[in-house]
Amino acid sequence: MKRILSALVAVALAFGMAACGAPAASTSTPASSAASSAASASASSEAATEAKPTQDRSGAAITLPDNVETVISMAPSITQTLMDLGCTDQIIALDTNSAAMEGAPQGLPAFDMMTPDAEQMATLAPDVIFVSSISSSGGENPFQPLQELGTTVVCIPTSASIEDIYEDVTFLGQVMGKTERAAEINENLKAEIDRITALGASIPEDQRKTVYFEIAAAPSAYSTGSGTYMDEMINLIGANNMMADKAEGWTSVDSEVVVSGNPDVILTNVDYLEDPVGEIKSREGWEAVTAVKNGDVYQIDNMASSLPNENIVSALEEMGKAVYPEVFGK
């Protein structure tokens, strides 16, 4: 299960900018920003309260019922936010990867996020089905039959930035009628990010370490270049992303690139190997890499770092302690 989930996450991140599939009539105009990151995090509950969205986060037109009472969640990042919003009891089915998460509701119908059983989903008659760009990463929209039946399918593409995460939380709060709770989540997220940012900013420019963050192991290694929320996270803790000037977005990585890049620290969130840290340290030809030579290779929680939602603060804390233990504490 972990190998499957991690592989899906890597695919989703690689194609995170792709919109979810939708009928042609529903893809007319780009979605307006739900709120800026700072406004989302600091606005009062009154400011957060507004009419139900008429577009989802991909820009597709949607029609929501006044009260959303039952939902199906087809992505772990969305499921976690729904739970944090206090909507666990409204989830009537979910994807198999969400079902395997700690704390997820049990005993519910579970569907494959890539090939969901549309007929069985339709019998559940949910008010809303939440999907992400994972399901449409192959170029097809597996939920189109449900949309053609009139089911409201709401897409939240994989976030490209921390700003997107704030907006996703705000959007989900509006859909679920939980705007006050969404504002609270964003306020807490902003406070934690501000705290971590201040610590990262205390690192002098000439002492900033170079980090290589691996999200899929060799021989099909994947990492993050510039223009992703994970690149932002590396910068927030006061480090430099080794891949930032080599690629944009989520990218495959050749071993030679890491060796020549000679990172000070290597982070990995691979969780489908028995010993991902040991595997990196034992790679042929990596003996002279500074991070390997000094033993500065660390595992970061996969869920916290690979699911773009409010829980990235846990991964940020882990990353800070791994790279700068003297600043972030051990």
pLDDT digits (tens, 9 = 90+) for 25-37: 333 333 333 334 4
Identical fold for domains 40-187 and 202-328, yes or no, is yes
Question: At a CB cut-off of 8 Å and minimum separation 6, what does 98 contact?
Answer: 73, 74, 75, 76, 79, 104, 110
Segment 269-319, tens digit of pLDDT: 999 999 999 999 999 999 999 999 999 999 999 999 999 999 999 999 999
Query: Which residue ranges make up each domain of the chain?
Result: 40-187, 202-328
- In single-letter form, the type of residue at position 112 comes to D
pLDDT interval class at 135 (50, 70, 90): confident
Over residues 101-129, mean pLDDT: 95
Model confidence at 99: pLDDT above 80? yes
CB atoms within 10 A of CB 325: 10
Q: What angle do CA 8, 69, 50 make, to 5 degrees?
A: 90
Q: Three-state SS for 28? A: coil
Q: What is the pTM of this model?
A: 0.86
Mean pLDDT, the chain, integer = 88
Say yes or no to pLDDT of 47 above 50.
no
Q: What is the pLDDT of residue 10?
A: 52
**Distance of alpha carbon 68 from alpha carbon 83, whole angstroms:** 15
Which residues are within 8 A (CB) of 103 and not within 5 positions of it... i.e. 6 or more apart? 83
Question: What CATH number should be reported for the domain whose range is 202-328?
Answer: 3.40.50.1980
**Confidence (pLDDT) at 137:** 74
- Residue 39 pLDDT greater than 70, yes or no: no
Quick one: pLDDT at residue 50? 59
Closest to 306 in 3D by CA, of 182, 158, 186, 96? 158
Q: Does the pLDDT at position 19 exceed 60?
A: no
Closest CA to 179 of 272, 87, 317: 87
Cβ proximity of 210 and 265 under 8 Å: yes
Interior angle at CA 285, CA 283 and CA 287, nearest 5: 80
pLDDT tens figures, 225-281: 999 999 999 999 999 999 999 999 999 999 999 999 999 999 999 999 999 999 999
Q: Is it the case that residue 139 has pLDDT exceeding 80?
A: no
CATH number for 40-187: choose from 3.40.50.300, 3.40.50.980, 3.40.50.150, 3.40.50.1980: 3.40.50.1980
Q: What is the pLDDT of residue 14?
A: 47
Rounded distance, CA 46 to CA 50, Å? 8
